[in-house]
Each structure stands twice: as structure tokens, then as C-alpha cells.
Structure 1
């Protein structure tokens, strides 16, 4: 089997990336030639997918300090979030976002260097960690993502997650409310009030309840687990398995890029 190189940037992907790249600073007074944007972007994707340290980047990809500076510039310009939004728009046009059924859940990553949006992980002997809360559509397409300290309960992040959808959410009639699937940790009156206020109809199920319903209801389709599968899809990008970034915005930039790459992989299949 041929070895895959998921960090390679295809011509089709670059067509979406290139218009979002902010203008390069002027070099009217001379200086060394600027590293091509496509080469810099591919090096950033290499870091994302392999989890390699910045200063361990292969020299043929470019100087690590140059790549890191470009990453910081593009993060501040909002490139990676804009690319995620572009991926959602392209996917929606080809396949259609399944707004009717959505799912949300959180997962935790280690954060040995600490920094903003980290805290003691109650499941890892109080070591520093980060929680990411994710909202997906019915097919597991990422729609919103927020991060906080690992000690924050999923319930505390739900409102921010639902309000953080990165593209415009369609407005449905009240009788056609969107269905939101959650696990049993969200089973509380305040959660239900938040969902109703946002025109969601809650479906709170444990894994055992979903399994039972699948066995006794003909044609039943389990929907809550799709968000867990999306977390697993994102974890193929090894840079986000362990958070090495002290700055929350840098970690979010990698998460946004992982979401974007996932979407354009889907677009390539449908295209």
C-alpha cells in the first residue's frame, strides 16, 4: 500500500487557501526573498498532522522560525477560522449540512506547559489539561468549537459552543426545531432551558439507552455518537492530541485548521 502524506496541499485545496492569505509586507527596500506562501502553509499542515516540534521541522520545508512567524501572522489575521468557514460553505453546497440533527460533547487533552484555557484534569490526577467542546451536524461535520480548562464541566461550555457556530445558522420554524443529541452528563433543567431558548429540542441519552433503543425500535439510528467520531477524526492531527501551545489562540488555530482539512477532505470525495 502506498504511503499517504496527509500534509500535502493539493491544488484544489490551495485554490481555497490562496484568496484568504493576507497580503505580504512590502520589501521595497530589499531583503531576502520571501518564503512562498504555499510552502509555508504546507509546513504548518505538516506540524499539525505529525505533531512535530517547530524547531524539528525538516529544513527542506523552510526555516522553522520563518514558518512559526507566518503561523502567528496568519492566526492573528484569522486565516484558519476563515478556512474552516470556507470549508463549511463548500461542503454545504456539495452535500448539504444536516442542521436538523446535531450533537455536542467535550473531550480533554493534556497541556503540560499550561497557559490560558487550561486547568487541573480531574481524570488525570490533577495534571494540567484542556477541554474542547464540539458541536457537529448529523453527519459529524464540525460547526463550532470552544476550549477551556480541563476542570470545566461540559455543561458549563454548552451555551458558548452553541453560540459559536462559525457560519450562519438557518432559522427554522418553531415546530421544526433542530434536534440536539447529548449524553447523560447534560441531563439538567438549566441545560434544557438553554436549549429551548436557542430553539433546540434536546435528546439526552446514555450509551446504554441508545443501544437499547437501537435493539427495540425498527430502523432506529443512533445520533449522539457522531460527535465522538468527529473528535477521533480530529485526533488524527497529532499536534492537537497534546496541547503544547501556551497561547489559547495558537491551539485554537491548529484546531480550526484541523476542522478545515477534515472538511476539504470530505469536499474532495463529493467533488
Structure 2
């Protein structure tokens, strides 16, 4: 099997490469020579193949590169924060070419299996106590991922609220202070602690009450629930099958895969919404 035989859906789209390749640092020169360094595009294509298909590193087709070379470069780039930089670069381009919808934002968590355990994992009570991981995502009104954190599956969504807000990779610097900014959450966030955090960040909260007699959602003309956008974003992430099960013991490696998926989602959204 050659590279051209790989399904295009499992190759890094050209539009993504064109927009994020500038974030890749230049390799250090080798004064003593040696074997030529594998092309960055080829390595990123191989990493994307693992992310998209969910395959193990050892199952990487040899036509895409030696598994040890690709994984070593993945580890190197993860330590350098490359995938995070790609996501941030995409967000800046999206803000310039499309505009981030700051007025309606949403947050929610999703759980995945983590059979190998490791840090930031815990017992998933919805999966017979098996090891799992939770990702918490903050999006704008169009579902563009702005912040993501991970923790154990036994960590309540509300406990990840402030960390997710602090993980935003772009902030509304030009957003007027008096402009109404709404944050949609599900009833799992209906706690006094959450209300204080939301108020401190300057958002108007929209939380379905656990007790229907205690209405929290503000009455707004033509209001409609917007929590579905973050649920759709989790669905977009799940198309990258490596994210469905966390095989990485090191949380930073799983986060790197999440950051690369976010970069792809943002760049593709530029074409859709631009």
C-alpha cells in the first residue's frame, strides 16, 4: 500500500496544512550529516492518520513512515506545544476571516474509555467503574472549540468549569464590556458555586434547573436553547477515532491529539462559515 492508496479522509487536508504549517519550528542543523530528516508534511500526515483512524502506532502503514520516527516526532512536537500552537493559529485566522460568536457560548463534558489508565483518569461510574477520562470543552455560538481540559471520568463537570474557562486559547479583546455574553450549560452545572464563577467571568448564565420550581434561565425574546452546539462539537471530535478511546497513558499526549483535532475543526470551519 502506498501513500496515494490511503483514503483522502485519512490524510491531513491541504487547507489545514497550508494554514498550520507555519507553526512548525525549523529543525536544528546536523553538522555531522546523517540520514535526511523525514519531511514535516509526511510526518503530520502519518500522525493525522493515527488520529483519524484510531489505529495504534505499531499498526501505522510503513508507506506513511517508520512508526518509531513518526512517534518520536509526535513526542517532540508535543513537548514543543506545536499542536496547541496550530489550534491557536487557526483560531486567530477564524477570528479575522469569519468572527467568533462571543455572544452565545456553551460548555459540556464527555467521557471516553481509558483502558491503560495513567494520570487524569478515574473510575467511570457509567461504565461499571472502568477506567475513563473526561474532556470538558468550551465553544462559541457556532461550536468552534475555544478551550479544552481533561481529567478523570469521576470528576464532575462543575469541577472542571473554571479550568475550562481559563483554558481558552483566544479571548474577546475587542468585545465591548457592556455587550451581553451568554453561556449555556446543562442542569449538571446547577450549583451556587457555578453561578458565582459565571458571574465573576461576566457571563449571563443559562442553566436548566435541577428543580423545575427554581427557574434560572433568563427570559429572552426569541430565546432557544443553544447547548446543542457543544454537543455537536463533541460529535465532531469523535470523528477523530483516536479520541474515542484514550490509549495514551500520558495526558499531554492525549491533549496533543485533542489540540490537533481542534485545529482541523477550526480550519475547516473557516471554509464553511467564511
Does TM, normalized by the shorter one, top 0.5?
yes
Counterpart position of 1:14: 17
Q: Once structures 1 and 2 are overlaid, which stretch shifts more, 130-139 or 88-97?
A: 88-97
Q: Can you give the 5+ residue segments of structure 2 that lack an aligned partner in the other structure?
A: 1-5, 213-219
The counterpart of 2:30, out of the listed 18, 21, 27, is 27
Query: Are residue 234 (structure 1) and residue 237 (structure 2) matched?
Result: yes
Q: For residues 175 and 13 of structure 1, what CA distance do their matches in structure 2 show?
A: 35
The counterpart of 1:110, out of the listed 98, 109, 113, is 113
* Deviation digits for residues 61-98 of structure 1 (CA, Å, limit 9, x no counterpart): 00000000000111111110111111111111222100
The counterpart of 2:88, out of the listed 85, 90, 108, is 85
* Deviation digits for residues 27-83 of structure 1 (CA, Å, limit 9, x no counterpart): 221211111011001100111000011011111100000000000111111110111
Measured after TM superposition, the shift of residue 270 of structure 1 is 4.4
SS in 1 for 2:172: coil
Q: For residues 70 and 192 of structure 1, what CA distance do their matches in structure 2 show?
A: 43
Counterpart position of 2:46: 43
Measured after TM superposition, the shift of residue 134 of structure 1 is 0.5
On the 8 A contact 2:54/2:243 being kept in 1, the answer is yes
Counterpart position of 1:191: 194
The counterpart of 2:203, out of the listed 196, 200, 203, is 200
Q: For residues 115 and 222 of structure 1, what CA distance do their matches in structure 2 show?
A: 36
Counterpart position of 1:66: 69
RMSD: 2.0
Q: Once structures 1 and 2 are overlaid, which stretch shifts more, 8-17 or 222-231?
A: 8-17
Measured after TM superposition, the shift of residue 4 of structure 1 is 5.8
SS in 2 for 1:15: helix
* Deviation digits for residues 155-192 of structure 1 (CA, Å, limit 9, x no counterpart): 00000001110113336555424110000111111110
Measured after TM superposition, the shift of residue 220 of structure 1 is 4.1
Query: Are residue 5 (structure 1) and residue 18 (structure 2) matched?
Result: no
Query: Are residue 261 (structure 1) and residue 260 (structure 2) matched?
Result: no
On the 8 A contact 1:94/1:270 being kept in 2, the answer is no
Q: For residues 179 and 219 of structure 1, what CA distance do their matches in structure 2 show?
A: 14
Measured after TM superposition, the shift of residue 228 of structure 1 is 0.6
Q: For residues 254 and 31 of structure 2, what CA distance do their matches in structure 1 show?
A: 34
SS in 1 for 2:224: coil
Q: Can you give the 5+ residue segments of structure 1 that lack an aligned partner in the other structure?
A: 210-216
Counterpart position of 1:98: 101
The counterpart of 1:158, out of the listed 161, 168, 179, is 161
Q: What TM-score do you get using the length of structure 2 for normalisation?
A: 0.90
**Structure 1 residues 50-61: aligned runs within 5 Å:** 50-61=53-64
Q: 1:20 to 1:158 in 2, by over 3 A?
A: same
Counterpart position of 1:213: none
The counterpart of 1:225, out of the listed 228, 237, 250, is 228
